[in-house]
């Protein structure tokens, strides 16, 4: 099964070393996995990348590694922050490195009003001339990017290329798709909702499990090829895998499986302590899960 230009983006982990610092060697291993999986679009410094536990200097150094090692990939740079000034600095740094697409969510901790969200995006747009992706993940930021706010951002900034909705609210996603799928790239950010999202107009998915397993990409490929029966079957089988991955606090299992697969001595930044508590058999169950389903 071959489908060109697969619109499944990997919201990538940050391949930390044994001290919890980004590793160039581990990044190369990760990028080799992406090539094997047939994924050529990556989103660094998002939720899976644990950007919120990294200093500004560490984020910059990792982005520099991406710029040097991932030239064959389409890169959507996460520039999210708890404050606007740091988001602006990351956006400017990304552009200075030659990146032309960024992903931005509302600031977090203080629950942002919709007017704050608009001002946040506009302030970042002042220092970045490329394309934007609106990232809606209210369970982490505390504020949903409402439809009218999205419309204001599209109109005022003029460089919004897409929307990633990770709310998990399929009714809200339906509104997003109804309003924007004809003009923007609308992506589903929850892997287990990919097929439902595609059926109502999503362009594709930003799927965290692609860090360790390409199975969810088959859902996309079957759907695009018009094989709805196999797309449905694959999504159902994949959802069992998704439950396994999320048995431990997000995104610990994804990191544990990546490290175990490649026998890497990696850890997560403080204060996360989950990986040492993950049962080895659970990791192996994840790694040994079905990676491809043949059409019938």
| Among candidate residues 68, 67, 69, 86, the one with its CA nearest the CA of residue 77 | 67
Residue 291, pLDDT above cutoff 70: no
pLDDT value of residue 294? 63
* Spatial separation of the C-alpha atoms in residues 30 and 36, rounded to whole Å: 10
* Spatial separation of the C-alpha atoms in residues 39 and 5, rounded to whole Å: 9
The rounded mean pLDDT for the chain is 95
Establish if 296 belongs to a structural domain. no
73-129 pLDDT per residue, tens: 999 999 999 999 999 999 999 999 999 999 999 999 999 999 999 999 999 999 999
22-64 pLDDT per residue, tens: 999 999 999 999 999 999 999 999 999 999 999 999 999 999 9
Query: Residue 295 — pLDDT band, cuts 50, 70, 90?
Result: low
Q: Which element (helix H / strand E) includes 188?
A: strand 185-188
Is 206 annotated in some ligand binding site?
yes
Q: What is the pTM of this model?
A: 0.94
* Spatial separation of the C-alpha atoms in residues 269 and 272, rounded to whole Å: 6
Establish if 214 belongs to a structural domain. yes
Q: Is 136 helix (H, G, I), strand (E, B) or coil?
A: strand
167-205 pLDDT per residue, tens: 999 999 999 999 999 999 999 999 999 999 999 999 999
Q: Which residues contact 6 (CB under 8 A, 6 or more apart)?
A: 38, 39, 40, 204, 217, 220, 221
pLDDT value of residue 10? 98
Establish if 245 belongs to a structural domain. yes
pLDDT value of residue 196? 98
Which residue blocks in the chain are alpha helix, DSSP H? 24-37, 56-69, 84-96, 114-125, 138-141, 147-157, 170-180, 194-199, 215-224, 228-245, 252-261, 280-287
**CATH code of residue 49:** 3.20.20.70
Establish if 165 belongs to a structural domain. yes
Range(s) of the domain holding residue 204: 8-287
Establish if 292 belongs to a structural domain. no
Q: Give, as one character, the DSSP assignment of residue 268.
A: P
Residue 292, pLDDT above cutoff 70: no
Angle at 82 between CA 79 and CA 84, to 5 degrees: 65
Range 141-169 average pLDDT? 97
pLDDT value of residue 290? 72
Residue 296, pLDDT above cutoff 90: no
The tokens 């059926």 sit on which residue? Answer: 199
Residue 2, pLDDT above cutoff 60: no
Establish if 58 belongs to a structural domain. yes
Establish if 294 belongs to a structural domain. no
Number of domains into which the chain is organized = 1
Residues identified as active-site? 135, 164
Tokens of 256: 């544990």
* Spatial separation of the C-alpha atoms in residues 207 and 189, rounded to whole Å: 6
């Amino acid at each position: 099964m071959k489908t060109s230009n697969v619109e499944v983006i990997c919201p990538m982990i940050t391949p930390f070393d044994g001290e919890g610092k980004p590793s160039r060697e581990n990044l190369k291993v990760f990028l080799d996995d992406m090539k094997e999986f047939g994924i050529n679009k990556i989103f660094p410094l998002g939720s899976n990348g644990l950007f919120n536990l990294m200093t500004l200097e560490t984020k910059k150094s990792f982005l520099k590694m991406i710029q040097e090692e991932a030239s064959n990939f389409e890169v959507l740079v996460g520039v999210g922050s708890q404050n606007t000034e740091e988001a602006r600095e990351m956006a400017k740094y990304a552009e200075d490195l030659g990146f032309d697409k960024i992903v931005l969510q509302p600031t977090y901790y203080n629950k942002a009003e919709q007017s704050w969200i608009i001002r946040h995006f506009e302030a970042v747009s002042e220092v970045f001339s490329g394309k934007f992706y609106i990232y809606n993940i209210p369970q982490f930021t505390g504020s949903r990017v409402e439809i009218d706010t999205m419309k204001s951002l599209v109109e005022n900034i003029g460089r919004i290329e897409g929307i990633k909705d990770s709310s998990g609210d399929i009714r809200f996603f339906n509104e997003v798709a109804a309003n924007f799928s004809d003009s923007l790239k609308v992506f589903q950010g929850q892997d287990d909702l990919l097929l439902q999202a595609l059926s109502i107009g999503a362009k594709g998915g930003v799927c965290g499990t692609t860090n360790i397993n390409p199975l969810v990409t088959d859902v996309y490929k079957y759907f695009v090829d018009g094989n709805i029966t196999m797309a449905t079957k694959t999504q159902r089988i994949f959802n069992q895998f998704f439950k396994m991955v999320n048995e431990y606090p997000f995104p610990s299992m994804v990191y544990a499986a990546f490290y175990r697969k490649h026998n890497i001595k990696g850890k997560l930044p403080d204060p996360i302590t989950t990986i040492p508590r993950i049962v080895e058999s659970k990791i192996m169950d994840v790694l040994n899960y079905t990676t491809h389903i043949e059409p019938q």
